[in-house]
A and B are shown apart, each in its own frame.
Chain A
Amino acid sequence: MGLYEPPSAVQNHSRHGVTKMHGEYKMPGGKLIVADLDVRNGNLTGVRISGDFFLEPDSALTMIDVALEGLPAAAGSKHHAAVIAAALGRHVRMFGVSPEAIAVAVQRALETRP
């Protein structure tokens, strides 16, 4: 149908020496949160958060990805969550997802590193 790229785009190891990492977290009482990311020079890069949660407005998803981009991978979940919360401010409404839960998904992705 040519609607989208085939899943061959999914790689465990890219040609550029960065490792593609994937983590999933089912938030208790919430929804599934997925983190796909790379680490380059110790910093998060190519961060893509996804899942079956709800965000209003929908543009908040990009704000989350942008907020995480470039953060030190070793900064820890608390710091990652605080940066997400600060980026979203008070006007974004979340249902089935939270900054803390996203940070857990990121942490799980980081722990998949071979």
Chain B
Amino acid sequence: MNRSDWRDYPWRLVHAAPQPPALHMALDEVLTEEVAARRRPPTLRVWEWSSPCVVIGRFQSLRNEVDADAARRHGIEVVRRISGGGAMFVEPGNTITYSLYAPETLVSGMGFQEAYEFMDAWVIHALHGLGIDAWYQPLNDIASPAGKIAGAAQTRRSGAVLHHVTMAYDIDAGKMLEVLRIGREKLSDKATASAAKRVDPLRSQTGLARADIIERMIATFRDLHGLATGKLEPRELELAANLAASKFSRTAWTSIVP
């Protein structure tokens, strides 16, 4: 399988109005399949959230990761995504999340590590343009002098690769640590998060509004790889709404690793 290049594809941007957590989970599955089936061109999707949630990774234990009482108390929904990786705490406006959906040939022959770095090279470029001395930190983080900026996750299916990333814009660390049970083993890595009231590497290092950072990131992607504005098709929205209801809102999936 020959490797393809970013510029081989007519990249589309999807940046829809705020949507609920389960629908976001479903859109990742549907759009990956649509790109795999070549019904949709490769796509950059920027997420907007309509409600707070915890998103746990495909292989994480629900009760090990989430304090269910604290989540209920704060009105925070818990959803599970289709990719591995760690839990993230989302309140509208506190993070920047995006997904890339591409044919697997874009990363063919690459190991996991190389593929992660390759898919996010444009973001490192964008962050440098915003004045942040950011770098890719194996296995799957984007780091900066002020701490971890983002975590990435990938999964592959039907010949397509899904790469999605959540970046910390301005997170309420106290609430996050109430809702997420961060394991003893992991706590040493997160010492900076527990000491600070806010985890805000993007806000504090740019002084920019979240929307302005997103705009600069989109502009960087467009410059490097080409990008035309697109939208979700009615068929895709219908598939995703059905999948959100039948899978991503249900205990059978959310507690698949109890």
Residues of chain A having any CB pair with chain B under 8 Å: 1, 3-7, 9-10, 24-26, 29-32, 34, 36, 48-58, 61, 93, 95-96
Contact = CB atoms under 8 A, between A and B. Distances in A.
A52 B60 contact: yes
A30 B139 CA distance: 7
B192 interface: no
B82 interface: yes
Interface residues of B, number: 41
Interface of B: 57-64, 67-69, 71-72, 77-78, 82-87, 112-113, 138-140, 153-157, 183-186, 249, 251, 254-255, 257-258
A25 B186 CA distance: 9
7 contacts: A24-B183, A50-B257, A51-B60, A53-B59, A53-B84, A55-B84, A58-B59
Given A50-B59, A51-B59, A52-B59, A6 B68 contact: yes
B173 to A, nearest CB: 19
B184 A54 contact: no
A32 B154 contact: no
Given A26-B185, A52-B85, A95-B139, A3 B59 contact: no
Contact of A9 (B138, B155, B258): B258
Nearest to B249: A3
B139 A31 contact: yes
Nearest to A9: B63
A61 B61 CA distance: 12
Among B59, B60, B83, B251, which residue has the most Cβ atoms of chain A within 10 A? B59
